[in-house]
């Protein structure tokens, strides 16, 4: 995913000299190609993220197209006020990249774990929120963020769980009309389903594996666009499912699960099982896989949550 991000950013910068990359003293190896190909379009703003967002806002007003990169614990969480007032309020074309979302920076503790970034950004008016699941979605979301000309937060999990789409054609970076769409990664023939999976980011792969092993008739949808989202499509998924299971490496409060439940409550009442991070911090440090287990997001633990829920809610 990070390679697709870097490759797409380099290509955009080659094609448009107004594309700038701002980073808060992060991502050196990741940006080797960018600094080599576009050295005059690279700005290291240092460990001063609030100031960096203000710089990006000023550059956008001057006609530049800034991409602002940082760890998601800092971009956007540390700079929510600046994103809100300096950028989104005036609808400036700045793209914020939050890398390492979720528990990827596991050994660095709670300060570097970001499980609230979608909730923080989803509530900001005029700020789009993207959450790609694989390299194909990353490349397309980067392109769409640039072409849309709007304020965008793009959440990128550093843990690469592999492709969820067989080919890049699942989402085109040239068709702005695709923004907001859910993407099928496992299709089902039946019109009505006992269970449907709606997932985003790193958890799309988990949803696919659980569906393949335990619910072969269930569709699986990837949600690369948290905001805007196609509410009609989400409502249709809910209307044709007994249970909708949402999966995200993010808090259950304010993220994808909340979004689906909100739409369901207004448009197509359905049972929504929200699988994500409970309302607590990590108790311990450890590997990424360890933290997934601690928070109940390891595949086997997720599957058990679903089995228990279905046993008590459906016949």
Q: Where are the alpha helices (DSSP H) in the chain?
A: 2-15, 32-37, 49-61, 80-82, 117-122, 135-148, 203-214, 231-239, 256-267, 288-294, 299-313
Query: Domain 174-313's class?
Result: alpha beta
Q: With contact defined as beta carbons under 8 Å apart, do 132 and 223 qualify?
A: no
- Report pLDDT for 25: 87
**Would you identify the CATH topology of the domain 2-156?**
Rossmann fold (3.40.50)
Per-residue pLDDT at 27:
67
pTM for the model:
0.96
Tell me the domain boundaries of the chain: 2-156, 174-313
* E strand or H helix that includes residue 194: strand 193-199
Q: Report in angstroms the alpha-carbon separations of 50 from 68, 76, 78, 113.
A: 11, 10, 8, 19
pLDDT at 171: 87
Question: Quick check: do 2-156 and 174-313 share a fold?
Answer: yes
Alpha-carbon separation of residue 89 from 117, 179, 186, 292 (angstroms): 18, 21, 38, 36
Look at residue 29 in the predicted model and tell me its pLDDT.
86
Local confidence pLDDT in tens for the 315 residues of the chain: 888 999 999 999 999 999 999 999 876 788 999 999 999 999 999 999 999 999 999 999 999 999 999 999 999 999 999 999 999 999 999 999 999 999 998 989 899 999 999 999 999 999 999 999 999 999 999 999 999 999 999 999 766 778 888 877 778 888 999 999 999 999 887 889 999 999 999 999 999 999 999 999 999 999 999 999 999 999 999 999 999 999 999 999 999 999 999 999 999 999 999 999 999 999 998 999 999 999 999 999 999 999 999 999 855
């Amino acid at each position: 995913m990070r390679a697709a991000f870097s490759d797409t950013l380099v290509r955009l910068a080659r094609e448009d000299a107004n594309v700038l990359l701002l980073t808060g003293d992060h991502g050196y190896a990741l940006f080797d190609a960018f600094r080599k190909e576009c050295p005059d379009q690279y700005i290291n703003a240092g460990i001063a993220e609030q100031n960096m967002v203000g710089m990006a806002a000023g550059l956008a007003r001057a006609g530049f197209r800034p991409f602002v990169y940082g760890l998601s614990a800092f971009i956007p969480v540390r700079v929510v006020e600046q994103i809100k007032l300096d950028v989104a309020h005036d609808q400036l074309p700045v793209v914020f990249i939050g890398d390492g979302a979720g528990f990827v920076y596991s050994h660095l503790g709670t300060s570097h774990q970001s499980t609230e970034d979608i909730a923080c950004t989803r509530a900001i008016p005029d700020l789009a929120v993207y959450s790609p699941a694989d390299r194909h979605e990353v490349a397309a979301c980067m392109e769409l963020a640039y072409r849309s000309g709007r304020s965008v937060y793009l959440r990128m999990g550093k843990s690469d769980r592999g492709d969820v789409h067989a080919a890049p054609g699942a989402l085109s970076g040239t068709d702005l009309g695709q923004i907001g769409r859910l993407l099928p990664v496992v299709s089902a023939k039946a019109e009505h389903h006992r269970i449907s999976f709606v997932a985003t980011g790193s958890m799309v792969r988990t949803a696919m594996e659980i569906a393949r092993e335990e619910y072969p008739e269930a569709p699986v949808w990837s949600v690369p666009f948290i905001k805007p989202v196609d509410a009609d499509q989400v409502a249709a998924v809910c209307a044709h499912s007994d249970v909708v299971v949402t999966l995200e490496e993010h808090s259950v409060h304010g993220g994808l699960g909340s979004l689906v439940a909100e739409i369901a409550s207004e448009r197509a009442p359905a049972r929504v099982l929200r699988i994500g991070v409970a309302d607590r911090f990590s108790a311990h440090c450890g590997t990424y896989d360890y933290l997934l287990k601690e928070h109940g997001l390891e595949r086997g633990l997720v599957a058990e949550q679903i089995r228990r829920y279905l046993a008590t809610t459906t016949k």
